[in-house]
Amino acid sequence: MFNPTDIIDLLAANVRQTRNPFGVRPSRFNTWWRGLSGFTRRPGDALLFTGLMYQAIPYINATTRYLERLEGSSWAGCLRWGRLVPASLRGRGLSVLTSGADRKKFNGILQTICRLLRQSEVNFFYHPEMDFYSGILLYDLGDQDGFVRHARFVARTLQLHGVRKVITVDPHTTYALKELYPRYTGASFEVQPYFSLLQCRGSERGNGKPPVVLHDPCFYGRYLELSEGPRRVLRDLGLEYVEVRNCGEFTSCCGGPAESVSPALNREILGRRAAELKAAAAPVVTFCPICLANLLKAGLPVEDLASLVGRYLAPEEK
Amino acid sequence: MALVDPDFAAELKAYGVDTALDCFNCGTCAAICPLNFEHFPRKMIRYVQVGAKQKILQQAQDLWRCLHCGLCTRTCPRQANPGELILGLRRYVLAQFRRA
């Protein structure tokens, strides 16, 4: 296990300097929307707010690969000097280490969500300059001051642009905007996860397809109690799903939150959850980028809810 | 020998830890915690209750093992919110480290 303060100080410095935990310039980091057909900036009723979580996965994967090698070695202590390196250099170095295939894959999920929302005739817009990392990792790690400072900046920017309604795509950002921002910044937004807006009734295109097994993320299952939303989408599509014993509000953690301070602990927790899911003998579907990346690491056949639904409801234009 | 600070629980209120004294140490949180690690988080809550500030600081690193998955909070029969308590202790410890 790394010294948590070394990790927190490094992440906090990155968020202060670049508004994301990796020290990567936003123009390099948030590129999924480029070249997307039918892309709309304004007008629109609700802002699609990705919280940069799907975009972050290739960077998390690259970081974790190196942390895994460092953990427990005599070099682990060197992390504390990382914050002395300028954020721009840290970010550039990390960008080089990320895989292009990973970036394409996770950006593709956001593009699918965009297509699904359009297909469901949701009145939304996207503006990359209004899309920020929520700061949730700082909150989870206990850096309250760093989180509140960043959250206030994000909330103020959204308020300045007159944003009232927000559509989110992952549980961590949804929790931050729905529960933490009102408490710590005083700013309230009407927050809805994208799957609660999808209209699939009557399509029943999934009839006769093999069942999938669901992995609920902790934040949707317990903190926000939104596990029913994705199930409703699958039912409306006529897709069968299997429940494992630990599901919904009693879902098991995938180990993702331990990734930054102890990749070894992450592997231990992930192994246990992977075994539970494997026993169901069906492809796994989840709706959180952190869970998705983790379960992929365990070698499970797993895909994001958006990718699955997108195949039936809004196939990619060739 | 560990010194106890009877005002510790009150001091922690500034960090959002205000339910520690509601806990009656049944151990449900430790039983359901996916870490299976040395009676975590019950042990930490007990330290707060008895004012064992030094014990918390000595074992501070263990606080960051918590996955913040919320299973303990969901199943706590006293609604003592063990998950948020651990989060509050992280805030407290981080503030102490930064001050030092």
Which has more pLDDT, A57 or A38?
A57
Q: DSSP assignment, residue B97? A: H
Of A5, A140, A144, Cβ closest to residue B68: A140
Min distance B1 CA to chain A CA atoms (Å):
26
Is the Cβ pair A142, B87 closer than 8 Å?
A: yes
Which has more pLDDT, B2 or A301?
A301
**What is the Cα–Cα distance from A157 to A24, expressed in whole angstroms?**
20
pLDDT > 90 fraction of chain B, expressed in percent and rounded: 89
Q: Is A120 helix (H, G, I), strand (E, B) or coil?
A: coil
- Strands (DSSP E) along chain A, which ranges? 46-49, 124-125, 165-168, 190-193, 212-215, 241-242, 284-286, 302-304
**What b/e readout covers A154-179, taking b as 16+ CB neighbours within 10 angstroms?**
bbeebeeeebeebbbbbbbbbbbbbe
All residues at 6 or more sequence positions from A76 whose CB lies less than 8 Å from its CB, including other chains? A2, A3, A70
Q: Is A218 on the interface with B (CB under 8 A)?
A: yes
Give the pLDDT confidence of A237-252 residue by residue, as tens digits: 999 999 999 999 999 9
Q: What is the mean pLDDT of residues B56-69?
A: 95
pLDDT > 70 fraction of chain A, expressed in percent and rounded: 96
Which of A269, A290, A294 should we substitute to test contact with B (largest number of B Cβ atoms within 10 Å)? A269
Q: How do strand A284-286 and strand A302-304 relate by DSSP bridges? A: parallel
Give the pLDDT confidence of A199-255 residue by residue, as tens digits: 987 766 777 789 999 999 999 999 999 999 999 999 999 999 999 999 999 999 999
Which has more pLDDT, B77 or B1?
B77
Chain B residue whose CA is closest to A219: B69
Nearest one of A311, A315, A314 to A206, comparing CA atoms = A311
Q: Is A261 on the interface with B (CB under 8 A)?
A: yes
Which has more pLDDT, A132 or A200?
A132
Asked whether the bond before A230 is cis by omega within 30 degrees of 0, the reply is no
A94 contacts A86 by C-beta, under 8 angstroms: no
Of A5, A143, A218, Cβ closest to residue B69: A218
Check whether A83 has a pLDDT greater than 80.
no
**In chain B, which residues have their Cβ closer than 8 Å to the Cβ of A256?**
67
* Residue showing tokens 């897709």: A239
- Strands (DSSP E) along A8-102, which ranges? 46-49
B interface with A, Cβ–Cβ < 8 A, is 15-16, 34-35, 61, 63-65, 67-71, 73-74, 87, 90-91, 93-94, 97-98
Lay out the sheet containing A190-193: strands in order across: A124-125, A46-49, A165-168, A190-193
Which has more pLDDT, A65 or A8?
A8
The pLDDT assigned to A42 comes to 67
